Structure 1
Amino acid sequence: MKRQLGRFIGLLAGFVFAAGALVLPAAAAPAPSSTVVGGTQADQGEFPFMVRLSMGCGGALYTPQIVLTAAHCVSGTGDDAGITATLGVVDLNSASAITAHSTYVYQSPAFSGAENGNDWALIKLDAPVSGSQVATLAVTDSTAYDNGTFTIAGWGAAVEGGAQQQHLLKATVPYVDDATCTKAYPGLVTAASLCAGYVDQGGVDTCQGDSGGPMFRRDAAGGWIQVGIVSWGNGCARPGFPGVYTKVSTYAADIAAAAATL
């Protein structure tokens, strides 16, 4: 089985790495109990915490100056001024887009490959971003939200191997229990991973260019809370293979501790 180890757009022969968008195959079957079959365009201001990163990944604004993304999107820990973050818009070509540049990257020190877990990283920006266009996204430190229906969003490919998107797309996907996900991915590290998608028919998923972006849902107070980070999967929206997301509740304390040092 050829696994797609990280949904980040890379240049390694033999693998299709991804980092941004939602998949809507033309023949996708309707998802049960859901009005979303595949990606639809997000409204301006709907998800003000979404971040597009210039290396072809997504992210979420963790603090006004720190972006939470996937470890496989970055090359290591240290000074890095080479990443541009675009925020505050759903249309990447909008004149209203806010841009900021990285100064430092922190990659989880335990990261050894997306399929092994610890797939999270922090990017410090050159200045805090502010204004009505942007907002931070809370992360869960409890497994209480690791179930139900999740929202995914990104600027990545709308079909497996397709082009990146100019406009932010969104979709909803249901939780997939560990036993079912382990059948699709033998050896899955369930303490590190959270799976979501329509296992039987596929048709809705994150894809190339969505890596590092958030998977989120409403919390008990009705606010958005991040439960996952787009990590990896076998292709995009394939029947039998749900998306695999970094389980944020497992790493929330480590993420907070690292952010406090930046």
Structure 2
Amino acid sequence: MCRLRGDLVVLLVIVLAEAQCFMMRIVGENHSKCGCPAASQRQPRSIAPSKVQGLLLKDDVSSSSTITATATTTTTGRIFNGKPSRKGAWPWQVSLQLLHPKLGFIGHWCGGVLIDPRWVITVAHCIHNELFNLPIGALWTAVVGEWELDAGGRGSARLPVEKVILHERFNNYVHDIALMKLARPAPLSKVVRTICLPGPEQYIGKRQCVASGWGRYGPSPSLSTALLEVSVPLLDLEECLQAYGTSVPIRKGHLCAGHIDGSSGSCVGDSGGPLQCRRSDGAWQLVGVTSFGSGCARPGYPDVYTEIQHYLNWINSTIHANHDDDEQ
């Protein structure tokens, strides 16, 4: 009986939390409120390969990891065995698209997260890696409001990047974080919204969270055209330390999450996408951005994210230092 009452209390809290965001959608349509997505539905279309000649960056730190310069299909998605999300479910998801100075337009290269109408957060190794070092705003475009990759859906927008700022101590997946300042504010709407950041002293704890991105749908090497999502548990950092050993430095500032049985998780590329957890008030907050993994949900290896809470001071000070006087 006590267990039943406890389950009912948990269910009631979840329902009330969802109701707060739901009422926000009905009353006033306050698109500026962070962490509250729209709830509209859309049927996913079939999975199709991306036939773009370009680069292939593998965020696979296992012993078999390789870097190759060209590929006939870009496998830049990290979500493996996820399910297509609802349209508008993750309105802060960003597709970062690259115009390479020698190879031309690559298209979708990495994920990003809209934390402010003028600012996107991602990981530094998307910009500076073994293949290139391109912290040049003019080479990047942030696509917001997209659900079906490169479909140009209603409400989506292609926004030029004004400035790219990497963490000054970034090296080998340590301090793997970067900010992109947009040339103009993102047009907030039902399909374009910002996500909340956690408080500096907020307790995150172990819980189920959601990673999203345009990743592999099962064993196929093709990208999903639909934005995928997968539920992953937050784990102790010690589990990642034991799994990866000395192959890559795991430090304070990393976050460990994912299924270690290989059932689902991250795959190759699309780093910088969000790991989002729901707060008690129903809003979603960004707890991590995808940094690296061992391959496509390899058994025994959780995924590693850059922990947002650890870098709040850097995020806030960087935005403040690059604040325009004419910004509202």
TM-score over 0.5 (shorter chain) = yes
Q: What's the counterpart of residue 273 of structure 2?
A: 213
**Residue 202, structure 1, aligned to residue 262, structure 2:** yes
**TM-aligned CA distance change 1:12 to 1:191, over 3 Å:** farther
1:74 is matched by which residue type in structure 2? I
Structure 1, unpaired ranges of 5+: 25-38
Which runs of structure 2 are paired with 1:141-152 in the superposition (5 Å)? 141-142=200-201, 144-152=203-211
In the comparison of the two structures, how many residue pairs are matched? 239
- Tell me the CA shift for residue 63 of structure 1: 0.8
**Residue 60, structure 1, aligned to residue 96, structure 2:** no
**Residue 23, structure 1, aligned to residue 23, structure 2:** no
2:114 is matched by which residue type in structure 1? L
Which runs of structure 2 are paired with 1:84-233 in the superposition (5 Å)? 84-92=141-149, 93-96=151-154, 97-114=156-173, 117-132=174-189, 133-140=191-198, 141-142=200-201, 144-159=203-218, 162-187=221-246, 188-199=249-260, 201-233=261-293
CA contact (8 A) 1:49 1:137 kept: yes
Higher relative contact order (CA 8 A, sep 6+): 1
- Tell me the CA shift for residue 208 of structure 1: 1.9
The 1-side partners of 2:312 and 2:181 are apart by 17
Normalized against structure 2, the TM-score is what? Answer: 0.67
**TM-aligned CA distance change 1:165 to 1:10, over 3 Å:** farther
One of 117, 127, 134 as aligned partner of 1:74: 127
SS of the counterpart of 1:194?
strand
CA contact (8 A) 2:75 2:222 kept: no
User: Which one has the largest radius of gyration?
Assistant: 2
**TM-aligned CA distance change 1:209 to 1:79, over 3 Å:** closer
Cα-to-partner distance string for 1:164-204 (whole Å, 9 max, x where unaligned): 222100010011212222110114434121111111x1121
CA contact (8 A) 1:66 1:122 kept: yes
The 1-side partners of 2:79 and 2:272 are apart by 14
The 1-side partners of 2:264 and 2:177 are apart by 23
**TM-aligned CA distance change 1:191 to 1:249, over 3 Å:** same
Residue identity (%):
31
CA contact (8 A) 1:159 1:236 kept: no
Structure 2, unpaired ranges of 5+: 1-57, 99-108, 323-328
The 1-side partners of 2:314 and 2:196 are apart by 15
CA contact (8 A) 1:59 1:69 kept: yes
Q: What's the counterpart of residue 249 of structure 1?
A: 309
- Tell me the CA shift for residue 18 of structure 1: 6.9
* CA RMSD after TM alignment: 2.5
The 2-side partners of 1:73 and 1:125 are apart by 17
The 1-side partners of 2:153 and 2:146 are apart by 9
Normalized against structure 1, the TM-score is what? Answer: 0.83
CA contact (8 A) 1:21 1:168 kept: no
